[in-house]
Chains A and B, each alone.
Chain A
Amino acid sequence: MTSNAFIAFQTNDVTRSIVEAIVEDNPGAIVVEQPAMVKIDVPDRLVIKRSSVEEKLGRDFDLQELQLHLITISGHLDETDDEFTLSWNS
């Protein structure tokens, strides 16, 4: 059985670009808009790429900036300078 890796952000101008980048990089991503929060579910593995976020945002982006907008995550976290990955070992 596959589980969803997910991440939830506060809804704001920055996370809109991050969400766009996630949707583009993760086929199968399901975006759930809730009041003031947006949650993205992806089966098994969710990856956020710095380069994609930078392109959407139009400026340099440090992946640790995610934390400012982050509400919660689920999955094993693997964090590098270029990618922020959530996954389940299945």
Chain B
Amino acid sequence: MSMDLRTISITPLRQTFGHLARRMGADKPASRYMEATMDLQPVENYHYRPTWEPQYEIFDASRTRIAMRDWYALKDPRQYYYGPWTLARGRMGETAGGDFDLVDELGLAASYSAPGRALALKVLLPLRHVAWASNINNAYVSAYGYGIAITQAACFASMDQLGVAQYITRLAIAFDDLEALASAKTAWLEGAEWQELRHFVEDLMVEKDWFALLVAQDFVIDGLLYPLLYERFNEALNASYGPVFSMLTRFQREWGAETAKWIDSVLKVAAAESPENKAQLASWINAFRERAVKALTPIAAVAFGDQASAMLDEVVLQLNTRAAKAGITL
């Protein structure tokens, strides 16, 4: 008996959801990111206004001075929705965890030179409070922003910052130094070199315009802080004392580089939307950058000594270049 194998092609009636087909202008398969992002937030038929701010709807685009015709244009180039975000962070966490284990196993932390360790802990540990502030601020963006495209990414950034704070804590523990955490908190609350930065991030906690907050926290502060401390300060430590801190701050470096791509792309799209947006973004960046540089100056002095201003100039230049690439003239 002979058997004939044949394929029957069953074409689906529709390739994707109606709202995505209308968006793309054709019924073609959409990526999971598009399906898990576009138009998910309610836009009409709200029944109640927030009791604490009755001038706004629950989701209200007028909570920021930035205006967009389509808020879903602020897409995430990393295409993170919950699934790929957790997978990506899981992978990063595994590698970072491996580094911590290796440092522990080989006793690298214990053999690290005392002056290097004192300097590194002095500069890095109070940053866990900065990361926590960023967690709060990104959570605000996530809560009051408009459209899932930006709010989900802000929510991820918020949780990531909590992770950053935990990695900094683990770093202190790797050096077997719980004392250091307490003294870092005292430095954050009372140390003269941290007060400007603390004042800045605490002011941001009461900033009402969520897009301004996004610019200040994720573009300006992180855009200066990460290259300054996790790259340049890290290199300085490596040169003088060996690479242990590079291993223990790996997550922050990888995360900083990745998140910069997201915020750059958001700013680029928002700036391209209208001249008003562009002007508003430029004035925010200018104002926040001035304040951030003032806040980071004493910290850079602790970290780099007499090279502080040169290092700070470099990272400011780098930030300006990123703004220019996003089409924002400062």
Q: Is the CB of B7 within 8 A of A13?
A: no
Min CB distance, A53 to chain B, in Å? 13
**Interface 1/0 per residue, A31-71 and B, CB below 8 Å:** 00011000000000000000000010111000000000000
Give the distance to chain A from B263, nearest Cβ to Cβ, in Å.
15
Task: List A contacts of B29 (CB < 8 A).
Answer: 16
In the complex, the answer to whether A58 meets B79 with C-beta atoms within 8 Å is yes
- At the interface, yes or no: A17 with Cβ under 8 Å from chain B? yes
Q: Across the two chains, which residue of chain B brings its CB closest to A54?
A: B77
- Show 22 residue pairs from A and B whose CB-CB distance is below 8 angstroms, ordered by the A residue: A13-B31, A13-B32, A16-B29, A16-B31, A17-B31, A34-B7, A34-B9, A35-B7, A35-B8, A35-B9, A35-B10, A55-B77, A57-B79, A58-B33, A58-B76, A58-B77, A58-B78, A58-B79, A58-B80, A59-B78, A59-B79, A59-B88
- The distance in angstroms between the C-alpha atoms of A90 and B88, with both chains bound, is 45
Determine how close the nearest CB of chain B comes to the CB of A58; give it in whole angstroms: 3
A34 to chain B: closest residue by CB: B9
* Cα separation A6 to B183 with both chains bound (whole Å): 64
A59: B residues at CB distance < 8 A: 78-79, 88
Binding site for B on A (CB under 8 A): 13, 16-17, 34-35, 55, 57-59
Contacts of B9 on A, CB cut-off 8 Å? 34-35
In B36-92, the 8 Å CB interface with A consists of 76-80, 88
Which DSSP category, helix, strand, loop or mixed, fits chain A's interface?
helix
User: Which residues of chain B from 1 to 50 have a CB within 8 Å of any chain A CB?
Assistant: 7-10, 29, 31-33
Question: Roughly how many angstroms separate A58 CA and B10 CA in the complex, as a whole number?
Answer: 31
Instruction: For residue A8, give the distance in angstroms from its CB to the closest CB of chain B.
Output: 14
Q: How far is the CA of A58 from the CA of B77 in the complex (A)?
A: 5
Q: A12 CA to B263 CA in the complex, in Å?
A: 29
Quick one: closest B residue to A58, CB to CB?
A: B79
CB-CB nearest 8 A-B residue pairs:
A58-B79, A35-B9, A58-B78, A58-B77, A35-B7, A13-B32, A16-B29, A59-B78
Kindly state the separation between the CA atoms of A59 and B7 in the bound complex, as whole angstroms: 35
Bound CA–CA A59/B85 (angstroms): 11
CB neighbours of B8 from chain A (8 A): 35
Chain B: minimal CB distance from A41 (Å): 18
Nearest residue, chain A, Cβ from B30: A16
Q: How far is the CB of A68 from chain B (nearest CB, A)?
A: 16
Bound complex: CA A17 to CA B33 (Å): 12
Complex Cα distance A32/B78, Å? 28
How far is B32's CA from A55's CA once the two chains are assembled, in angstroms? 15
Please report which residues of chain B, range 241-262, place their CB below 8 angstroms from some CB of chain A when the two chains form the complex: none
A83 to chain B, nearest CB (A): 22
In the complex, besides A34-B7, A59-B78, 12 extra interface pairs with C-beta distance below 8 angstroms are A13-B31, A16-B29, A17-B31, A34-B9, A35-B7, A35-B8, A58-B33, A58-B77, A58-B78, A58-B79, A58-B80, A59-B88
